[in-house]
Structure 1
Amino acid sequence: MIYETLICITEEINNNFKRKLQTNEEKVILSGIVNQDGSIAIQGENKIVVTLLNVEKDTVGKSSAGAVPGVTIPNTAPAVNINLYVLFSAYFSSANYHEALRFLSFVVAYFQSKNVFTRANTPSMDPRIGKLIFEMESPGADKLNNIWTTLGAKYMPSVVYKIRMLSFDDSIIKEYRPSVTGTEGRVGPA
C-alpha cells in the first residue's frame, strides 16, 4: 500500500497542476533520487520528485476499529499503523532555479488546501486506504544535511511531509508478478 499511496498522491498533484497551470506535462514523478551505483535516478529535468524517506510505526494512533468487544479471532495479529515520511524535491536545471521554487511553493499550497485524503475527496485512492493526513515536517539544518547525505545527492529545494496513517495486515498481499528479464534473442520456450 505504500506504492499505491505515493502513486495516488503523485497523480493527484499532477492533475491539480494540469488543471491550474493549463499544461499536459507530468511535472511530478515518483522516483528515487540516486541509483545504487551513484548515478542520477531521475529521467529528465524540471520535475518535482516524490521520494520515500522513511517508514515509521505509529504508536499513538493505535486503533481497534472493526474489533468486536469480547470476540477474539485466533491466529490474527492486529493491523499495524504506519506513517510515511516523503520528500518532495524540485529537480530543475540551474537556469530554472526560480521555477524550482515556484513548483515547490505549488506543492506546499496544494497540501495547505488539501491535507486530508479520503475516498470521498480522492476517488482514485485505493479502497484499502481509509484516510491519509499530511503534516509538513520542519527538519533542522543538521537533520536536512543528514537526509541529503543519506540519499547520496546534492541538496535541492525540498519539503518533507509526514503522511499518517496507513494500516497494514496480511490482506494487502494479493499476488506477486515478477518482471520478465533476460529474454533477448530467445525464440520459443527455454
Structure 2
Amino acid sequence: MIHSTLDFLTQELDAFIKLKVGDPLTTRIFLSGVTNEQGIAIPDQALGLSLINIEEERTNKDQQSRFINAVGKVEKRNPEIQLNLYVLITANFQNKLAGNSSDDYLEGLKQLSYAIAFFQGKNVFTPENSPALSGFDTNLTKIVVELYSYSFEQLYNFWTVVGAKYLPSVLYKVKTLRIQENAIQESGEPIEQIFISSIHKS
C-alpha cells in the first residue's frame, strides 16, 4: 500500500507539472531515494519524491480486535495499523549544463513551486475525485497530503545524514494509510446469552 500511494502521487504530480511546462513527453518527477552510493539519486533536471520516514498514527488507534463476519461468526484479528508517511520533494537542478536553461537553478525552483501549487489546489484524493486511485490499490480510499514545516536544525540534520549538500525541497505528511492484513487469529460462535449460576451453601 505504501508503494501504491507514492506511485499514485508521483504520477498525478508528474501529469500536473507536464501541463504547466507544456511538455507532455518528458518525465518531470521520479519516485526515488534522495541519494545513493554515487551521490544524488534523483535524475538531473527533475524533481524527486522520496519517502524519508514512516510513523504510526496513534491518536485515533482502534483497539477493537473481534468482529462479526458475513456468516455471523466471531473472528479475532489484530487491530489495523494506521500510518503517516513523510515525503520529501526535491529539485535537482544544479546548473551542470552550461547554457541550458532547463538545467538552471531558477527552473528547479519554478517546478518545485508547481509541486506546492498542485497540493495546495488538491490535497485530498479519493476514488471519486481521482478515479485513477482505484487502479493503484483498491484498498486506498482516501489520501490526505499536508505541508509539513520543520526547523533549520532538522533540515541541517537531515541533509547531514543523507550525506549530500542541500537541494531546494519541501516536506509533506501523507496520512493516514490503514493496513489490515485480515489474518484471523481465532474464530467461533458469538456469545448471545450469559447465564449466571448461584450456588448457596447451607
TM range (shorter): 0.7 to 0.9
Instruction: State the distance in 2 between where 1:109 and 1:27 align.
Output: 15
For 1:10-159, list aligned pairs within 5 A.
10-23=10-23, 24-35=25-36, 38-40=37-39, 42=41, 44-63=43-62, 73-94=74-95, 96-125=104-133, 126-159=137-170
Aligned match of 1:180: none
- Residues 28 and 49, structure 1, Cα contact 8 Å, conserved in 2: yes
Cα distance in 2 between the residues matched to 1:138 and 1:10: 21
Q: 1:143 to 1:43 in 2, by over 3 A?
A: closer
Identity %, equivalent residues: 34
TM-score when scaled to structure 2?
A: 0.76
| Distance in 2 (alpha carbons) for counterparts of 1:140 and 1:56 | 19
Cα deviation 1:45-70 (Å, max 9, x = unaligned): 111100001000001233589x868x
Which amino acid in structure 1 is aligned with residue 148 of structure 2? E
Give the Å deviation of 1:18. 2.0
Q: How many residues align?
A: 168
Query: Measured at CA, do residues 16 and 171 of structure 1 come closer, stay the same or move farther in structure 2, by a change above 3 Å?
Result: farther
Q: Tell me which residue corresponds to 1:167.
A: 178
Report if aligned partners of 2:34, 2:42 keep a CA contact under 8 Å in 1.
Answer: no
Structure 2 unpaired stretches of 5+ = 96-102, 184-202
Higher strand share: 2
CA-to-partner distance for each residue in 1:116-155, whole Å, 9 max, x for gaps? 0111122222221121111111111000111111222211
Quick one: which amino acid aligns to residue 3 of structure 1? H
Structure 1 residue ranges, 4+ long, deviating more than 3 angstroms after superposition = 71-75
Shift of 1:16: 1.1
Cα distance in 1 for partners of 2:73, 2:112 equals 48
Contact 1:119 1:127 in 2 (8 A): no
Report if aligned partners of 2:91, 2:167 keep a CA contact under 8 Å in 1.
Answer: yes
CA drift at 1:32 = 0.6
Which stretches in structure 1 are left out of the alignment for 5+ residues? 173-190
Larger Rg: 2
User: 1: CA distance between counterparts of 2:74 and 2:144?
Assistant: 30
Q: Is the partner of 2:143 in helix, strand or coil? A: strand
Write the deviation string for residues 56-114 of structure 1: whole angstroms up to 9, x where unpaired. 0001233589x868x99444111110000000000112361101110111111000000
TM-score by length of 1: 0.80
